[in-house]
Amino acid sequence: MSLSPIQAQWAIDETSRTFLSTITGVLAAAASDNVQALAIVACEQFGSTLAICDETSHKVETVIVPTPQPATVLFLKAAVGYSPRDSATQLGKSMAGVRFLGLAAALATSFDLFDCARALNAMLRNSASDLTILPTARQLKDLLASLQPRSYRAGFSESVVGWQIMLQKEAMPRILTDEGHSGGPSSFLFKSAPSPEMVVKLVDVLRMVARIGESTTTGATIKTGAAAAWVAAFIKWCLGLPPSIYMEDNQQLLRQPGSVITLVIPKTLEGLRKGLEITVHDSLDHLGQLIAPPSTRPFSGMATIENYGTWLLESFGLRGTSLRALHEALDFLIPQALGALKWSEFDLSGQETHPAQLHHRMDISVGGYTLHPLPDTRKIVDVYSKLLSPARMPRLATTDDHMLIADLPLVSQYLESLSQACPCSQCCGEIQGHVNLGRSFCKQDEFFEFISFITVDILVLSLFRSQDLLLIKLSHERDSGNALERAVFHLAKAGNTAPQFTAIGTPYAWKLLEWARSMVGHKVSAEDEDGNTVVTSGYGQVIYPTLFDTLDIERRGYMGLTSYQGVLIYEGETYQTVTADTGDSAQDELLQLNSSCPVQVSVPLNAFLDLEVFWNVGVQDSHELSIALSVRSRTGRLSSVRMHPMDLFFVLEKTLLIERCPHDGRSGINPTDRFCSHNSPLDTHQEACNSSSHVDIIPVSYSNDLRCFSLVCTRVPAVLRKNACMACCLDLCREAAVHVLIL
Which pLDDT belongs to residue 133?
Answer: 80
Which pLDDT belongs to residue 376?
Answer: 92
Main-chain dihedrals φ then ψ at residue 557, nearest 5 degrees: 85, 25
Radius of gyration of the chain from its Cα atoms, rounded to whole angstroms: 30
Which stretches of the chain drop beneath a pLDDT of 70? 1-5, 8-24, 30-31, 176-188, 212-215, 284-287, 347-367, 399-401, 429-440, 479-481, 496-508, 526-527, 529-530, 583-587
557 CB-contact burial (10 Å; exposed 0-12 / middle 13-18 / buried 19+): buried
Which pLDDT belongs to residue 243?
Answer: 96
564 within 8 A of 627, measured Cβ to Cβ: no
245 within 8 A of 232, measured Cβ to Cβ: yes
SS3 of residue 582 by DSSP: coil
CA distance 401 to 495: 7
699 within 8 A of 606, measured Cβ to Cβ: yes
CA 19, 25, 31, 34: dihedral to nearest 10 degrees? Answer: -70
Helical segments of 351-500, H only: 377-388, 409-421, 425-430, 443-461, 483-494
Q: What separation in angstroms does the CA of 457 have from each of 384, 444, 476, 524, 685? A: 9, 20, 10, 19, 39
What does pTM read for this prediction? 0.90
CA distance 541 to 543: 7
Q: N- to C-terminal Cα distance for the chain?
A: 69
Which pLDDT belongs to residue 440?
Answer: 62
Give residue-wise pLDDT tens across range 327-339. Answer: 999 999 999 888 8
DSSP string, 47-75: GGG----HHHHHHIIIIISS-PPPEEETT
The rounded percent of the chain whose pLDDT value lies above 90 is: 47
- Give strand pairing partners of 697: 678, 741
Helix (H) or strand (E) holding 619: strand 611-620
Give residue-wise pLDDT tens across range 601-611. Answer: 888 889 888 89
Look at strands 567-570 and 561-565 and give their pairing.
unpaired
Residue type, position 140, single letter: L
CA distance 427 to 316: 21
Which pLDDT belongs to residue 349?
Answer: 45
